[in-house]
Amino acid sequence: MKTKGDAFAGLSVALVTPFKNGEIDYDTFRSQIEFQIAAGTNCLCPVGTTGESPTLTHDEQDRVIAFVVETVAGRTKVMPGTGSNSTTEALRLTKFAEKVGADAALQVAPYYNKPTQQGFYEHFKMLAEETGLPQCIYNIPGRTGKNIEPETIIRLAELDNIVMVKEATGSLDQASQIITSTKLTLLSGDDSLTLPLMAVGGRGVISVVGNIVPQDMMALTRAMDRGDLEEARRWHRKLFPLCRDMLGLSTNPIPIKAAMKLLGRDRGELRLPMTPLEDAGMVRLKKSLSEYGLM
């Protein structure tokens, strides 16, 4: 069935933000972007959870979005995280992303202040109606403290500019309710749940592990898209331990940055309050990378 955000189906990668001595390392960032473009990744998502957006200043968020759009130069799609727990700030950042040429905006549920369901609705409605960018609602109650209930998302789906939902509740029932009641393009927000979510009608994933193995994540989503369940299961079985460790060893993006450092793709530097992966986690991560065939 055709969905509203079909152009964003497949693999999107939630990019890390590389740092060097506390500052954004744009040279490394450029090489990471080129790596994704060479792999054929459909969409890049900077300044999200994986991109450590809570520790970036507003000015840095603007500069990162502009840098990614400029570096990509139309070769793939760009959907930056422009959400905030302040509707005013989310609107400002979304308008900036639109101005510099982003293709869509990833809007996390307002966090910490825990709006009512009507508050969620009014927040996303304003963003959709006052900007021209297609909007992807990002529902991750484990981070934000409150679920956007499926009934609220179904109401929002009636708005033209709301075309996608990044589903990270872990609930197949919630995902199924959205898929059966709307034409939203549902994307998995958990790498390890990509296959089951696509099995009930999801269209792809906004991936963390795609930072290191984008071709393999694409192989999984493409197999599901063409109905080759056995091939998709094969990729799921291969990817699952790596996906589990990238989100299970510590808080995202600590494990993925550690993995990228081990693979020579990043310095692994984080900004406080994020701290490096502890020794026990590093041992397990090295084992996982080795067993996958990356080390």
pLDDT value, residue 160: 97
Pull the structure tokens for residue 200: 């009930």
Residue 90 has which token pair? 């989310």
Residues classed as catalytic = 138, 166
Model pLDDT for residues 86-116, shown as the tens digit of each residue:
999 999 999 999 999 999 999 999 999 999 9
pLDDT 10s digits, 237-247: 999 999 999 88
Q: What pLDDT score was predicted for residue 145?
A: 95
Strands 19-20 and 10-14: unpaired
Q: Is 116 exposed, middle or buried (0-12, 13-18, 19+ CB in 10 A)?
A: exposed
Q: Strand 19-20 to strand 162-167: parallel, antiparallel, or no bridges (unpaired)? A: unpaired
pLDDT recorded at residue 1: 76
Q: What per-residue confidence (pLDDT) applies to 55?
A: 96
The predicted-structure confidence for 63-79, as pLDDT tens digits, reads as follows: 999 999 999 999 999 99
CA distance 195 to 293: 22
pLDDT for the residue numbered 80: 98
Which segments in the chain show pLDDT lower than 70? none
Give pLDDT, residue 194.
Answer: 98
The structural domains of the chain, ordered by start, are 6-225 (3.20.20.70)
Give the Cα separation of 217 and 224 in Å (integer).
11
Q: DSSP string of the chain?
A: ---TTGGG-EEEEE----EETTEE-HHHHHHHHHHHHHHT-SEEE-SSTTTTGGGS-HHHHHHHHHHHHHHHTTSSEE--B---SSHHHHHHHHHHHHHHT-S-EEEEPP-SS---HHHHHHHHHHHHHH--S-EEEEE-HHHHSS---HHHHHHHTTSTTEEEEEE-S--HHHHHHHHHH---EEEESSGGGHHHHHHTT--EEEESGGGT-HHHHHHHHHHHHTT-HHHHHHHHHHHHHHHHHHHHSSSTTHHHHHHHHHTTS------TT--PPPHHHHHHHHHHHHHHT--
